Amino acid sequence: MSVTKDKERGSWYFTGYYRDAADVRRHYCRRGFQTKREAKEAEHAFLVGVKLASPALTLDDLFEQYVVDFHTMGLKEATLINTEDYYHSLIQKDLGKVKLSKLTAPVIIRWVSGISAREYRGKPYAVGTINKARKVLSKLLSYAVQLGYLQFNPCTNVPAYKRPEAIEETPSNFWEPRTYDRFMEFVDDQHWRDVFAFLWGTGVREGELFALRWSDVDLGAGTVRINKSLTYKTKSKGWALTSPKTANSIRTIDLQDSLLNALQDRYARESCKDGFNSDYFVFGDLTPISAPALRYQLNKYIKRSGVKHITPHGFRHSHASYLIRSGKLDDQLIADRLGHTVAVLRKTYAHIYDEARADLKSILNEIY
């Protein structure tokens, strides 16, 4: 591969060798470029085309093309960020150098099994994480089918991963009010008290908490507007604001008096700082708090208080569980508050509705 100036014509050309689909070594040469840069870019495009047409195309090659073509597919930036994260952390090391023609269902099943045997921060990967990685791989292979590099997607023959002891992950990831009260007794930093109280009292997603600015808060009306999310998965800037998870995620949340008072107190403290304006993040300043910091602080205070471990998302499960179990609110109101549809609400918290059905049966037995 080389780019050279044609001294007689005054233009630039590129030349070199490649192997075609039949693995035959062939020479290539293209002339007539006005600048060296144009010739280099043209050669790069030519070789990419050659590589993609080759039976030696690897998953890494496909992923590189997927990233290039991403914006032409009408997908959200958050989707690309999420895909990149799963690819680099769970897929690339094992499968990146594998030829697409060799990515069969048995190979993918062994890969899934391999992930299930690994640990992250001392714990096995969650079933949801493993299946999300499988879903990302399937999405890439469907893209390969769309481009004609594969005849079918081998992931369609790979069942979702299940681990018996992890079936009830979601139901256990919540606190009862008394557990939350015990936890908060040990939180001695006002900033983190505000963060945990907001998560507990609103049930917002992590990304929604991180993205919240003071311009989204109406202290007079006692509401917050959820209209964006924030992810920490970009390599370039560390974090990026994106549109919410779904259309239902765009919503206005009413604040209970205790939470409104806490936000008013926080605003009084933060608004006195130099440079403060409404674009400041509610739980940060010009930059938001980080996901690792939230997890670290949560785990630290869980250890101090001795309560059951939950993830940051556990606050959302706790909020939803408490509202459903209260029996005082219509499902539509709860779904609106959480940014769900009623159908998703009932599916996600099916275990709670099952408990309610059991209570209903007992009540019916008493009456009749």
Q: What is the DSSP letter of 87?
A: I
More confident residue, 231 or 10: 10
Q: What is the pTM of this model?
A: 0.58
Domains 74-167 and 171-360 share a fold: no
CA atoms within 13 A on the CB side of 342: 5
Tokens read off for 151:
């005849």
> Domain map of the chain by residue range?
2-56, 74-167, 171-360
Tokens read off for 139:
């999405």
CATH number, domain 74-167: 1.10.150.130
Do residues 34 and 12 touch, judged by C-beta distance below 8 A? yes
CATH 1.10.443.10 assigned to 171-360: yes
> What's the CA gap between 207 and 81, in Å, rounded?
13
Residue 171 has pLDDT above 70, yes or no: no
Residue 223 has pLDDT above 90, yes or no: yes
Do residues 41 and 19 touch, judged by C-beta distance below 8 A? no
Q: Quote the pLDDT of residue 50.
A: 63
What residues does 241 pair with on adjacent strands? 230
Q: Quote the pLDDT of residue 96.
A: 93
- In the predicted model, what is the mean pLDDT of the chain? 85
Nearest to 290 by CA among 306, 268, 307, 312: 312
Q: pLDDT, tens digit, for every residue of 315-351?
A: 999 998 888 888 888 889 999 999 988 888 887 777 6
Q: pLDDT, tens digit, for every residue of 146-169?
A: 877 888 899 998 888 886 543 344
Q: Quote the pLDDT of residue 169.
A: 44
